[in-house]
Amino acid sequence: MARSSRNPRSFPSRRSSPYTLIFAGLLTLSMFLLILLALGIFSLPISSDNAPKDEVDHRRQHRSVVETDGMGVRGKQWTEILSWQPRAFVYHNFLSKEECEYLIKLAEPHMTKSTVVDSSTGKSKDSRVRTSSGMFLPRGRDKVIKAIEKRIADFTFIPVEHGEGLQILHYEVGQKYEPHFDYFLDEFNTKNGGQRIATVLMYLSDVEEGGETIFPSANVNSSSLPWYNELSECGKRGLSVKPKMGDALLFWSMKPDATLDPLSLHGGCPVIKGNKWSSTKWMHVNEYKV
């Protein structure tokens, strides 16, 4: 019987070649980099040292805007078209509750009786037409106000520099602002920034009853509004917006052809129950120097 050969059968060597080792190493390194990229731990450089300085500054500016974007948390936001004649829109939850409370807290110790503009002299005067109290917060006063002003500019497409300082208004029971125009009929008030083009009115509080912002000449069938039955007698006399904390009303005093829009006539109905706090931002056609 033949015995098995004493010489073991020869198998191919299991030792890897240097090329296989290099290939495996490169593959592992790429996988590792891909994982880091996916986790955001590592990023590919998107600018070279030759990138223009302005471009780099712009990116930094953008980041800091995000970091300082207001205060608190805003509810779900959406915009609603109220009317095309005049052009009026509501941006729901434009401000957070914290921002509303912050503005009231800043303004409260400095409130004085509101005035109106005398169209013959262009000067401010006391009037029964407007019985609220108010004060102005300088434009860019602090981080929170800067963020709100930037938000207004984004909403309206009107640069921050075209806006007056924020006016804070307080109406107690019985106080109101009779219908009026925000545009000027005198030359004195248009010297700085030209005509007022649009207004953003932000509601800093809810109002239990009354206090609606009304557009008596709006080309809208107001009785068909879903909230018509909740309006005061004054509010039923035109297109009305019920104040809701955080909402912002934008309306245009000028038409797209740059003529004044008389349908933008508007006012604040008397407060019947509760308190009304609001903030107005008037914006001009040109830069408004502060």
Ligand X SMILES: O=C(O)CCC(=O)C(=O)O
Closest residue to ligand X in the complex (CB): 268
- Look at residue 63 and give its three-state secondary structure: helix
Binding mask 167-186 for ligand X (x = CB under 6 A): --x-------x----x----
User: For residues 62 and 128, which CB has a smaller minimum distance to ligand X in the complex?
Assistant: 128
The single residue among 88, 278, 281, 283 that binds ligand X, judged by CB under 6 A, is: 278
Residue 208 tokens, joined: 């239990």
CB 272 within 8 A of CB 140: no
Count residues near ligand X (CB under 6 A).
10
Binding mask 222-251 for ligand X (x = CB under 6 A): ------------------------------
User: For residues 201 and 245, which CB has a smaller minimum distance to ligand X in the complex?
Assistant: 201
> What's the length of the chain?
290
The single residue among 162, 196, 266, 281 that binds ligand X, judged by CB under 6 A, is: 266
Q: Say if residue 57 is exposed, middle or buried (CB neighbours under 10 Å; 0-12, 13-18, 19+).
A: exposed
Q: Which stretch binds ligand X (CB under 6 A): 9-17, 66-74, 89-97, 261-269?
A: 261-269
User: For residues 69 and 181, which CB has a smaller minimum distance to ligand X in the complex?
Assistant: 181
Angle of CA points 262, 266, 272, to nearest 5°:
160
CB 188 within 8 A of CB 118: no
CA 195 to chain centre: 22
CB 215 within 8 A of CB 262: no
Binding mask 197-216 for ligand X (x = CB under 6 A): ----x-----------x---
Any alpha helices (H) in 129-214, and if so which ranges? 143-156
Sites of contact with ligand X (CB under 6 A): 169, 177, 182, 201, 213, 266-268, 278, 280
